A and B are shown apart, each in its own frame.
Chain A
């Protein structure tokens, strides 16, 4: 057994996993504030990346300005989505809300591609492609940057959920009716969570766009993001980060073992298996809240 190789797989897996967390944090934000599973996060991520590119290429802004501007645009878009669509279906069965977010996802993807075309574009963040060496271990710089962004967002949101606004969002997730009764604006809270998730989508879109190009494939991150979110517990940001690392390592190391056996392409299979096992064995994930049933 080659331990150096194995630890290289594990470390790179963990870094990739943190990038999944970056995506999953968006899902968790919305679920935490409204118990709505946002299956449109893939579409949002794609839109985020395209908006950055549109501002950078088509308008000609420098990237350091285009990214925050895109974040502002997406913040507005997130608010808008809640206002126009989600609010009308509040309190409906989950099947309708799932379908709504799926419809949104399809719509966002279709519209983005209709406007900007399906050819893959590159993000060109300017991060060097030269690998870093940690002893004998080979590490990609962009993955390191992305992992840093994920951790920074994690810390930021952990702090945010301790602020008064953050506490109100958690209250909304607990009980809509009780929130209304003490004057919390549930609509604005849920809107804010969508807006924040859309901003996270910009971050994920930029990093993933740099890694695999800005195209339709960005929305395929949804399965991995969902798996991370569910494994972490759907409403736990800490869970999303830890589950991301776990999934990244399991996927990378597992694929190395399985690929020769099944002839390649086992990553998707591993992710799906982790999702199924999580739901079957521990539906509330590693850190998810149980519904409290007091006797």
Chain B
């Protein structure tokens, strides 16, 4: 039974703790499972530890002088807790980092080339590019202009496209909706859903825009203060009254509820 669960989960993260600079405890025992071919969301407010969770998975912690001090991460059954970022990308984990960090002085086309894995043949690369331009026709139109001058939405598409060139099995996105107009968010999320369906790509999505995220994912985790405080299917989360009040908006929030929620949070963590 246990093995079967392992096989279904492409990624499994077990009570991971992350320390920055050897002193700051950013996440305190987070466990997250991503079933193969599904879309999962990590929700939570600023500084809750969502980005750190993603960086722990992609191995980018090292660049920020952080390290995993406890717990383990397995990807397709292999332990990757100590693996280099580069190795993890080769294995099929790609992380679209926060803030649309495209290579500004390169053209979109060169951005895609830069991400090509070592040893990918020219024809495969071209096929990949065609496929990505198929998903994001706007990029194809502007493939030879400078990436730094693309619009915010186009940059986000380019960042996602660039990640797809690495032929990931698990795609992690850090706040793709940040600073984008709602219709663009919808467009990008729609494309993500399409890629997820067409290619069976597993997706781990970090979002503050819980409303939009819960529309496309199957399960969600709520992280607060470096801990997972809630986990359930998208439906269950959407109908949870606390989530509704504090993350989805709407409803009357009064001090009594806030107090009640804080108490529950303490209890959970």
**Which residues in A have some Cβ–Cβ distance to B below 8 Å?**
91, 164, 167-168, 170-171, 173-185, 289, 292, 294
**A183 & B117 in contact (Cβ 8 Å cutoff):** yes
**Which residues in B have some Cβ–Cβ distance to A below 8 Å?**
58-60, 63, 85-86, 88-90, 94-97, 101-106, 110-111, 113-117, 146, 148-149, 159, 162-163, 165-166
Q: How far is the CA of A110 from the CA of B89 in the complex (A)?
A: 43
Give the tally of cross-chain contacts (CB within 8 A).
Answer: 83
Q: Given A183-B166, A292-B104, do A170 and B85 touch, yes or no (CB 8 Å)?
A: no
A contact residues around B90 at 8 Å (CB): 183
Q: How far is the CA of A110 from the CA of B133 in the complex (A)?
A: 55
**A182 & B89 in contact (Cβ 8 Å cutoff):** yes
A contact residues around B94 at 8 Å (CB): 181-183
Q: How far is the CA of A294 from the CA of B165 in the complex (A)?
A: 26
Q: Is the contact region of chain A dominated by helix, strand, or loop, or is it mixed? A: helix
**B103 & A175 in contact (Cβ 8 Å cutoff):** yes
**B114 & A177 in contact (Cβ 8 Å cutoff):** no
A contact residues around B159 at 8 Å (CB): 178
Q: How far is the CA of A178 from the CA of B165 in the complex (A)?
A: 14
Q: Given A164-B116, A167-B113, A183-B86, do A178 and B149 touch, yes or no (CB 8 Å)?
A: no
Q: Given A168-B114, A180-B60, do A174 and B86 touch, yes or no (CB 8 Å)?
A: no
Q: How far is the CA of A292 from the CA of B148 in the complex (A)?
A: 6
B contact residues around A176 at 8 Å (CB): 63
Q: Given A181-B85, A181-B97, A182-B162, do A171 and B58 touch, yes or no (CB 8 Å)?
A: no
A contact residues around B102 at 8 Å (CB): 178
**A167 & B63 in contact (Cβ 8 Å cutoff):** no
Q: Tell me the nearest residue of chain B to A184, going by C-beta.
A: B114
Q: How far is the CA of A273 from the CA of B162 in the complex (A)?
A: 44
Which residue of A164, A167, A181 contacts B58 across the interface (Cβ within 8 Å)?
A181
B contact residues around A171 at 8 Å (CB): 103, 106, 110-111, 114
